[in-house]
Amino acid sequence: MGRRLVAAVVCAAAVLVMGSTAQAGERHRDDPVAKAFRDTTRSTPWQQVAKIPLGFPTHHPQGFALVGDKIFMSTVEVLEWPVRYPEPIDGYDRTPGKGIGHVLVLTRQGKLLKDIKLGEGIVYHPGGIDFDGKSVWVPVAEYRPNSNAIVYRLDPRTYRVTEEFRVRDHVGGVVRDRETGVVHGVSWGSRTLYSWTSHGKRLTKVANEDHLLDYQDCAYVGYRKQLCTGVTGLPDGKGGTFELGGLVLRDLRDGRILHQLPFTALSSAGHVITRNPVALEVADGKLRLFAAPDDGDAAAGTELYVFEAPLGG
């Protein structure tokens, strides 16, 4: 990664995070990321500008949150993989497995700063995470559908972790609405969409009308929208699987899909770039995308990818 790009990325981050002093009349406007994404099309030229090897154990990355010049990355260290039962047992289709949940804090140059462990017992699988301007919200669930999850709040300055509430389902990602404080979440494969108060009172539970993607990571983008990224595995006609990756912008008020498009770039391991953690920002007149699609045990390990696209599509 060139020195100029590194400097630009770090400088831009300081402006983007830790709150805004915008006038009240401006609060209802789309923020730069939401506006820039709505202007993208399938013809938008995305250029890979960096690929940074992460030289530390990264396990199975799940979610990104950009906080100033730091990147918070949730990841699951699997010690024993879940095994499917021949027939469901007590409502579960597989064993719980064993593992350790982590949130890794790294610089934008790929240096590890902190390893924060989260979860308890068989609840060890972190999902997609979100920064609400003050705290990083992290769901940690059992590594199986229709199970249990704990939603944590992490202070990005002190790294103090607070349990906020528990959910009787696998929660694969959360986003907090900065206007209302409501926490929005997705189930295993994002087939169910939830919302709760910040203390865990369930407000809504609805089926996801988007059947194109399984959301892996979502982030709040104002005004009252979330930008989700993910992947769907499809048969390739040769006995294998084709990964369809993409991004989708949704209205948090009514769940409407506002804009959606595929993302076709592939990683060193052959995975679509939106397979796991993704985060976006607007800086230097461009829409910038960060991603870490590959696991730590891939041939090249986990690499931090940076793509940029011109504003206006």
Whole-number Å distance between alpha carbons of 120 and 99: 10
Q: Concatenate the DSSP letters of all residues of the chain into one string.
A: --HHHHHHHHHHHHHHSS-----GGGTTSPPHHHHHHHT--TT---EEEEEEE--S---EEEEEEEETTEEEEEEEEEEE---EEEEEETTEEE---EEEEEEEEEETTS-EEEEEEE-BTTB-EE-B-EE-SS-EEEEEE-SSSS--EEEEEE-TTT--EEEEEEESS---EEEE-TTT--EEEE-GGG-EEEEE-TT--EEEEEE----S-EEEEEEEETTTEEEEEEEEEEE-SSSSEEEEEEEEEEETTT--EEEEEE---B-TTS-BGGGS-EEEEEETTEEEEEE--S-TTSTT--EEEEEEEETT-
User: Whole-model pTM above 0.85?
Assistant: yes
Q: Give the per-residue pLDDT at 143.
A: 98
Please indicate, yes or no, if residue 19 is contained in any of the structural domains.
no
Please indicate, yes or no, if residue 145 is contained in any of the structural domains.
yes
Nearest to 88 by CA among 173, 147, 128: 147
Whole-number Å distance between alpha carbons of 146 and 136: 24
- Are 271 and 258 contacting, i.e. CB atoms less than 8 angstroms apart? no
**Does pLDDT of 160 surpass 80?**
yes
Q: Give the per-residue pLDDT at 5.
A: 47
Band (pLDDT 50/70/90 cuts) for residue 1 is: low
Please indicate, yes or no, if residue 23 is contained in any of the structural domains.
no
Spatial neighbors of 254 by CB under 8 A, at least 6 apart, are none
- Residue 298 Rama label (left phi>0; alpha psi -120 to 50; beta): beta
Percent with pLDDT over 90 in the chain:
88
Please indicate, yes or no, if residue 20 is contained in any of the structural domains.
no
CATH number at residue 287: 2.115.10
Please indicate, yes or no, if residue 253 is contained in any of the structural domains.
yes
Please indicate, yes or no, if residue 282 is contained in any of the structural domains.
yes
Whole-number Å distance between alpha carbons of 247 and 262: 6
Residue type, 241: T
Whole-number Å distance between alpha carbons of 245 and 231: 4
Whole-number Å distance between alpha carbons of 167 and 202: 9
Number of C-beta neighbours around residue 296 at 10 A = 16
Whole-number Å distance between alpha carbons of 161 and 118: 8
Please indicate, yes or no, if residue 64 is contained in any of the structural domains.
yes
- The residue ranking higher by pLDDT, 1 or 169, is 169
Q: Give the per-residue pLDDT at 312.
A: 85
Q: Give the per-residue pLDDT at 113.
A: 98
Whole-number Å distance between alpha carbons of 112 and 107: 7
The boundaries of the domain holding residue 235 are 3-14+28-310
**Does pLDDT of 25 surpass 60?**
no
Whole-number Å distance between alpha carbons of 290 and 122: 30
Residue type, 162: T
Q: Give the per-residue pLDDT at 16.
A: 42
Q: Which two tokens stand for residue 170?
A: 């696998």
Which tens digits make up the pLDDT trace of 187-238? 999 999 999 999 999 999 999 999 999 999 999 998 999 999 999 999 989 9
User: Rg of the Cα trace of the chain?
Assistant: 18
Q: How many domains does the chain have?
A: 1
Please indicate, yes or no, if residue 189 is contained in any of the structural domains.
yes
Which tens digits make up the pLDDT trace of 256-312? 999 999 999 999 999 999 999 999 999 999 999 999 999 999 999 999 999 999 998
Percent with pLDDT over 70 in the chain:
91
